[in-house]
């Protein structure tokens, strides 16, 4: 299975709560850029799972619209995600070729590091609107191979 990690695009600094921060105009452009990148490179995840936090949800919905896919909101992808929860939740999609998860840092940096077997937490820096792929033959810590990690600025 290929696990695609997409950190939410640029969001406003202030809102009534952290949960409610929306994408900035630049963030909206970044999300569209990621969607177009996926479309032009034949990257079509079987499933898109997103944090319900507004900035991640908006990012996921823009990418999904460009790819003609649906988004499933997952509370476990909200800020504070544990790698063990990611792995057990992805097990429900074992028959899928690829899954795109849209969420947050430092959660994704830690999870990617755990999957590819690095020993330092947050070993992988995932910038806003960065797109990272990990190939995992089985869903266990250290069983993944980093395929690529592309910042939005290079798309």
Domains of the chain listed by start with CATH number: 2-154 (3.40.50.1240)
Taking only the tens place, the pLDDT of each residue in 86-103 is: 999 999 998 899 999 999
Dist. CA 95–CA 118, nearest whole Å: 27
- 122, pLDDT greater than 60: no
What does the pLDDT average to over 42-51?
98
Task: Please report where in the chains the tokens 């695609």 appear, as a residue.
Answer: 4
Task: Return the higher-pLDDT residue of 37 and 140.
Answer: 37
Phi-psi region of 80 (alpha: psi -120 to 50; beta: other; left: phi over 0): left
Point out the least confidently predicted range of 9-13, 62-66, 139-143.
139-143
Question: Average per-residue pLDDT in the chain?
Answer: 94
- 50, pLDDT greater than 80: yes
Task: Return the higher-pLDDT residue of 95 and 38.
Answer: 38
Taking only the tens place, the pLDDT of each residue in 14-32 is: 888 889 999 999 999 999 9
């Amino acid at each position: 299975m290929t696990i695609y990690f997409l950190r939410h695009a640029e969001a406003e600094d202030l809102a009534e709560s952290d949960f409610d921060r929306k994408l900035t105009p630049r963030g909206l452009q970044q999300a569209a850029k990621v969607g177009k990148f996926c479309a032009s490179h034949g990257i079509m995840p079987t499933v898109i799972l997103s944090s319900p936090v507004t900035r991640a949800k908006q990012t996921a919905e823009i990418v999904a619209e460009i790819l003609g896919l649906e988004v499933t909101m997952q509370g476990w992808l909200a800020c504070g995600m544990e790698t063990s929860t990611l792995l057990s939740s992805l097990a429900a999609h074992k028959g899928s070729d690829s899954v795109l998860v849209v969420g947050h840092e430092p959660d994704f940096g830690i999870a990617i590091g755990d999957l590819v077997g690095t020993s330092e937490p947050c070993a992988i820096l995932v910038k806003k609107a960065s797109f990272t792929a990990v190939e995992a033959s089985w869903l266990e810590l250290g069983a993944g191979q980093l395929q690529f990690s592309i910042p939005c600025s290079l798309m």
